[in-house]
Amino acid sequence: MKVFKACLLIMKRHKGQILIYLIIFMGIFVVISAFMSTKITPDFSETKPEFTVINRDKETAFTEGLRGFLSNHGTEVILDDKKDVLQDAMFYHATEYILIIPEGFDASLATETPISLEMAAVPGTGDSYYLDNLVNQYWSFINTYQKTGSQMDDEVLVSKALESLSLETSVETMRFSTGQPMDDAYYAYNRVQSYILLVLILLCVSSVTLSFKRPELQMRNLCAPTTVRAKNFGQFLYCGVVSLFVWLLLSVMGIILSAGRLAGTDWRLIGLMLLNSFLFSVTSLAISMLVSHFIKNPNTQNAFANFLGLALSFLGGAFVPLEFLSQSIQAFSRFTPVYWYSKAVTGIYSLTSLDRASLRPIWQAFGIELAFAAAILCVSLALGKYKSRAENSFGSIRTELDS
């Protein structure tokens, strides 16, 4: 246990950088979850995309009716009628659809060739199609009522059109799982967790191996009345314990940060999420043990951790959902463990039932994660064996015999 205690002591001296990573990660997660704090309702609710109406003509019963109708199906974003304001809002998706009522539009309605309304949107998006369809539906009704209802006031005409437009189809929501859907923020936390798990475990493991690799320390340890087996056991035990601790810490933090929103969620889904992150922490441990062989000094330690963590996480779909990655990248990322972790997270999130068929892809992803861990661990042990051979282990030592 002396080696194990020494490992813990080394870790204690590096707790500062681990804390910095934890605090930054938690800070970013809190901000992200604040953006994702959508209210979960078990029943169907309409998606209400953002729209803006810029009226360069006068306010009439028609335009008021249009605003009211669109507001029932979307979220109005009020913007100034300035080109750069509209451009910015469109670029940053503050609004998905801008409808401009041009000057003289109302007067032109009575003529044979009314002026067209102008619309700006990101071409081809579902939101713009939906909102444009609503605008056309509204004016189509107004137009028809105008032509058929002679001597009708504009207000009466609009109220008649809106009465027809207020009819809604009944929607039944079919639930295939017992609990309510999993909270979006907890799902996002679990996806991004792969990055921080890998970085933290890599830093914890490499900090210790880096210290033990120092030639003078290595020579002293070889002289010590401890067997190599006991030394290796102590280090392995430390690696296992620290990985378990990191996993436990992040899991508890995730549950605490999402506590209020997980109340109705099926606990078996949360259990599967925890099992998935646990398996990934085993894979991360194997990766860390392999990578530690290549880390030569503390300066490259952070670079290694971040380069590897970010590359695997980006390619594996931790930051950007897998469906947004191109087909070629997805094909490549199948060879990374984060891909299978993310696939399992998404699979658990969208589980509708817990029968054998639905769970099969989840178990498959778990198995592949474990297979990655076993394969990487084998390579790491083989490399360790090779590196521990006398001619490799003290490569940086120079004696008078070398010259």
Partner 1 sequence: MFINIFGKRIRAALRNWSTLIWTWIFPIMMATLFYFAFSALDEADLLTVIPIGIVDNQEYGEDTAFRSALGSLSADGDDKLFEATIYPSAEDAGKALENQDIDGYITLENAAPNLTVSGSGLNQTIIKSFLDQYSQTKHAITSILAENPGAVSEISELFNRESFTKEISLTQNPPSQTINYFYALLAMVCMYGAFQGHESVSYLQANLSPLGARRTLSPAKRLPMVVYDLLASFVVHVLCLMMLVAYIVLVLGVDFGSNLWMVILTCGLGSLLGIAFGALISAVTKFKENIKVALIITITMICSYGAGLMVSGINYTIARTLPVLSWLNPAARIADSFYCLYYYDNLSKYFLNLGILAAMTFTMFTITAFFLRRQRYESI
Q: Interface residues for partner 1 in 39-68 (CB under 8 A)?
A: 41, 44-47, 49
The residue within the footprint of partner 1, chosen from 129, 294, 335, 394 (CB under 8 A), is: 129
Residue 49: strand, helix, or coil? coil
The residue within the footprint of partner 1, chosen from 19, 24, 30, 259 (CB under 8 A), is: 24
Query: Is residue 124 near partner 1 by the rule CB under 8 A?
Result: yes
Query: Which of these segments, 124-132, 233-241, 285-293, 378-386, binds partner 1 (CB under 8 A)?
Result: 124-132
Cα separation, 241 vs 235, in Å, equals 10
Query: What is the nearest approach in angstroms of partner 1 to the Cβ of residue 374?
Result: 27
Binding characters for partner 1, 324-353, by CB under 8 A (x = yes): xxx--x--------------------x-xx
The residue within the footprint of partner 1, chosen from 94, 244, 274, 359 (CB under 8 A), is: 94
Nearest to 90 by CA among 49, 58, 57, 33: 49
Give the containing element (helix H, strand E) for 50: strand 50-55
- CB nearer to partner 1: give 1 or 19: 19
Phi/psi at 101 (nearest 5 deg)? -95, 110
Query: Which of these segments, 205-213, 251-259, 299-307, 337-345, binds partner 1 (CB under 8 A)?
Result: 299-307
Query: Which of these segments, 55-63, 110-118, 198-206, 226-234, binds partner 1 (CB under 8 A)?
Result: 110-118
Query: Which of these segments, 23-31, 266-274, 285-293, 337-345, binds partner 1 (CB under 8 A)?
Result: 23-31
How many C-beta neighbours within 10 Å does residue 173 have?
Answer: 9
Query: Is residue 198 near partner 1 by the rule CB under 8 A?
Result: no
Euclidean distance between the first and the last CA atom of the chain, given in angstroms as a whole number = 40
Residue 75: strand, helix, or coil? strand
Cβ-based neighbours of 79, under 8 Å, separated by 6 or more: 52, 54, 85, 86, 89, 94, 95, 98
Query: Is residue 107 near partner 1 by the rule CB under 8 A?
Result: no
Binders of partner 1 among 149-178, rule CB under 8 A? 149, 160-161, 163-165, 167-176
Query: Is residue 180 near partner 1 by the rule CB under 8 A?
Result: no
> Tokens 């984060």 — which residue?
338
Cα separation, 392 vs 386, in Å, equals 8
Query: What is the nearest approach in angstroms of partner 1 to the Cβ of residue 164?
Result: 4
- CB nearer to partner 1: give 331 or 378: 331
Strand 50-55 to strand 97-101: parallel, antiparallel, or no bridges (unpaired)? parallel
Binders of partner 1 among 208-227, rule CB under 8 A? none
Nearest to 292 by CA among 280, 301, 302, 283: 301
Nearest to 188 by CA among 363, 309, 22, 37: 37
Phi/psi at 368 (nearest 5 deg)? -65, -40
Binding characters for partner 1, 74-93, by CB under 8 A (x = yes): ---------xx-xxx-xxxx
Query: What is the nearest approach in angstroms of partner 1 to the Cβ of residue 320?
Result: 5
Cα separation, 30 vs 32, in Å, equals 6
Tokens (6 digits) for 159: 């109220």
- CB nearer to partner 1: give 126 or 240: 126
- CB nearer to partner 1: give 94 or 248: 94
- CB nearer to partner 1: give 21 or 236: 21
- Which letter, b or e, does each residue of 68-78 get, where b requires 16 or more Cβ atoms within 10 Å of its Cβ? ebbeebbeeee
Indicate the DSSP class of residue 265: B
- CB nearer to partner 1: give 349 or 366: 349
Strand partners, 51: 76, 97
Query: What is the nearest approach in angstroms of partner 1 to the Cβ of residue 193?
Result: 16
One-letter amino acid identity for 224? Answer: A
- CB nearer to partner 1: give 155 or 374: 155
Query: Is residue 294 near partner 1 by the rule CB under 8 A?
Result: no
Cα separation, 263 vs 25, in Å, equals 24
Task: Kindly state the number of chain residues that form the binding site for partner 1, as judged by CB under 8 A.
Answer: 90
Query: Which of these segments, 50-58, 196-204, 248-256, 319-327, binds partner 1 (CB under 8 A)?
Result: 319-327
Query: Is residue 126 near partner 1 by the rule CB under 8 A?
Result: yes
Tokens (6 digits) for 367: 């198995």
Query: Is residue 103 near partner 1 by the rule CB under 8 A?
Result: no
Binders of partner 1 among 350-369, rule CB under 8 A? 350, 352-353
